[in-house]
Amino acid sequence: MNQRLLPVAVIFPILGLLALIGRAELNLRSGRTWELPISGYDPRDLLSGHYLRYQYRLQWAQGQSTCGDDGDIDRQCCLCLQPQPGSREPLVHSVRCGAVDGCLSWLRGSDVAGEQRYFVPAERATDLEEALRDRPAALRVSITDDAILAVDTLLLDGVPWQRAQIGSSK
């Protein structure tokens, strides 16, 4: 009996992993692409394991500087993203989550609040940490119509980090 269950026990987790990868790729390809500026979260140590720690630096609409959440589901804070002429960064408005119909893309405020992490290869981690401190950085993200944020790549000076001149490759 145990021999019959072994293939199921091996195949089921693999199928689950493939489904998660497929869903992430679908979110990345089906959403609207934006470049969201970031800055290092902790100037003393931006690296945590194989992850760069950062926070989003959003370009708020005039008169707004934050997104509060009073805990009421109907009044939960959402971010409405609209393009800015002459800029790759979106202009962000704070709106009630029930009032996102006029937004080109939208996110829940809690999805971009606080510390975030971006995986980097160990052999490039130190160079990328230094570059994130010294250079303009952004993330190319995709946001689906139902506010699912999928991170595509880290940009340094507007270029994917893999092509950017960093560290010993300068």
Mean pLDDT of the 14-38 span: 83
d(CA 70, CA 94): 13
- Whether residue 139 is predicted with pLDDT greater than 90 in this model: the reply is yes
User: Are 74 and 39 found together in one domain?
Assistant: yes
Highest mean pLDDT out of 18-27, 40-49, 60-69: 18-27
Name which of 133, 170, 140, 132 is nearest 158 in CA terms.
Answer: 140
The answer for residues whose C-beta is within 8 angstroms of residue 161's C-beta and 6 or more apart is: 120, 124, 128, 131, 153, 154, 155
pLDDT in tens, 145-163: 888 898 999 999 889 988 8
Do 43 and 25 fall within a single domain? no
Given a cut of 50, is residue 132 above it in pLDDT? yes
**Domain identity same for 91 and 41:** yes
pLDDT more than 70, % of the chain? 84
pLDDT, average across residues 20-36: 80
Pair 15, 63 in one domain: no
Q: What's the structural domain count of the chain?
A: 2
The confidence score (pLDDT) of residue 49 equals: 65
Q: Is residue 26 domain-shared with residue 104, that is, in the same domain? A: no
- What is the rounded distance in angstroms from the CA atom of residue 170 to the CA atom of residue 126? 14
- Computed over every residue of the chain, the mean pLDDT equals 81
37 with 113, same domain: the answer is yes
* Domain identity same for 90 and 165: yes
Do 77 and 46 fall within a single domain? yes
Does one domain contain both 36 and 116?
yes
Residue 9 structural domain: 1-30
pLDDT tens-digit readout, 94-118: 888 888 888 999 999 888 888 888 8
Q: What is the pLDDT of residue 74?
A: 43
Q: Is the pLDDT of residue 87 over 90?
A: no
Pair 107, 147 in one domain: yes
User: Which run of H or E residues covers position 2?
Assistant: helix 2-30
At residue 42 the predicted structure's pLDDT band, cuts being 50, 70 and 90, is: low
What pLDDT sits at residue 80? 92
Q: Are residues 23 and 60 in the same domain?
A: no
pLDDT: which is higher, 130 or 42: 130
